[in-house]
Structure 1
């Protein structure tokens, strides 16, 4: 927790960032300190793509470079199913402190060996519960984490938060669809959100990175499913 907090603060205050966000005065191992930093980041940046990239870089900074360099070519691409299971177990072991109680579960709809051990069910996400904000969930957790696994680990991931129950279902090896990602961005502001809905424009507004996201998703979909290329070209146009 302390390392994550330090890395988050470092990323937010890199010289290339135009906005400085001072760290909380709370103890390093105080979870509320992470929530305060993340909330401040989401409230001060009006470009969601920038928020998502900062959050992804925090995840990148937690791993030795050689792992991120070798994992895609040595494991993820040649052994996708085994890699998905490995990442599922590693997520439970290494992520419980951030997400709360979670467990590896089966995802039968994946159709690969019954989807055995390809998912992680977060029973009640601590990060969502503490932040109480759908925008923070989508832009500081869901999308950055999916991008990290896809771009840095070479493994697709789809995360599906449930804002009614607090659950979140991870499915490793599954590319998020356009519909799923649009639904995530269309989530109504939570009644309990401390921003009182003031970050709504950051969450679902136009001109804050959606166009680039659509182009990226179109390209990634086509790479994984050549038959979808014609649709993706229409989206890009």
Structure 2
């Protein structure tokens, strides 16, 4: 009986060790030439990048009930805010909501909407996304490429196989090495403050189907415009294992997973 118990304990320990070793090797296929340097800028230039960064930081600070000046300047300070949003939120849904609201803040509330939605997003959905879904999918691929490289890093526009909306030409935005994921060093932060809120933003706020697929070995990320997220994708993303260098050592994941709101 004792030998059987020892065998069970040994197997349990071995399985946990294998799981931990499997989960904790992020960035094993990084390509240095794809990294974002301090002198890089997106297609719109440094002024536009700095405007987007400042606006995003302001909204994050507001959600934290803090001042932007309480954090270090620049992109690193924004990542500190993101981590604090993640660690101080009461549930996954709370994290997603705050992050989605920060994305909405990048767009003007004009012309005024007929409800509580952000004006520009509401009217885009009414005037473009619903009547012109193919055009809207292609347009959002290009606009995201133009306006978001400051946040995610260098990206290219490519064709998408098996698009559900459109012919797939120029409907895939491929982020080569996501600086957001690399700077946060946390798979849970990636899922809860980027993947889930960004998908909700495009699918619900803009009315454009879009699925995100991050790669934790290369730090690449696929923005598939014209495809909706699947339940299988969501389960995989929510259960992705922790990084060994995760600042919270997995504690945020445990706390958020055990919250009553999940």
Identify whether the pair has TM-score above 0.5, normalized to the shorter chain. yes
| Alpha-carbon separation, structure 2, partners of 1:178 and 1:45 | 24
Equivalent positions of 1:213-224 (< 5 A) are none
Assess, with a 3 A threshold, how the Cα gap between structure 1 residues 179 and 23 changes in structure 2: closer, same or farther: farther
Report the more deviating stretch, 110-119 or 38-47: 110-119
Greater shift after overlay, 146-155 or 178-187?
Answer: 146-155
Q: 1:130 to 1:10 in 2, by over 3 A?
A: same
Q: Deviations over 1:195-225 (max 9, x none)?
A: 222222146x254544xxxxxxxxxxxxxxx
Q: Does 1:10 find its partner at 2:54?
A: no
**CA 1:112–1:174: 2 relative to 1, 3 Å:** closer
Does 1:155 find its partner at 2:208? yes
State how far apart, in whole Å, the 1-side matches of 2:242 and 2:67 are: 24
1:91 is displaced (CA, Å) by: 0.5
Residue 105 (structure 1) aligns with: 158
Corresponding position of 1:46: 90
Q: How does 1:17-166 map to 2 (within 5 A)?
A: 24-27=70-73, 30-65=74-109, 66-110=119-163, 114-166=167-219
More helix by share: 1
> 1:9 Cα shift?
0.8
- Tell whether the 8 Å contact from 1:24 to 1:37 is kept in structure 2 after alignment: no
8 Å contact 2:168–2:226 — kept in the other structure?
Answer: no
Identify unmatched segments of 5+ residues in structure 1.
14-19, 211-237
Alignment of 1:174-189 (within 5 A): 174-189=227-242
TM-score with structure 1 setting the length:
0.79
TM-score, reference length from structure 2: 0.72
Q: Pick 1 or 2: higher relative contact order, CA cutoff 8 A, min separation 6.
A: 2
Are residues 4 and 154 of structure 1, via their aligned partners in 2, closer, same or farther at CA, if it must alter by over 3 Å? same
- Structure with bigger gyration radius: 2
- State the shift of 1:33 in Å: 0.5
Aligned equivalents of 2:98 and 2:165: distance in 1? 34
Distance 1:150 1:209, change over 3 A: farther
Instruction: Report the alpha carbon displacement of residue 136 of structure 1 after superposing the two structures with TM.
Output: 0.6
Q: Which runs of 5+ in 2 are unaligned?
A: 1-52, 110-118
> How far apart, in 1, do the equivalents of 2:159 and 2:260 lie?
35
Q: 1:196 and 1:141, CA in 2 relative to 1: closer, same or farther beyond 3 A?
A: same
Q: CA deviation at 1:69?
A: 1.9
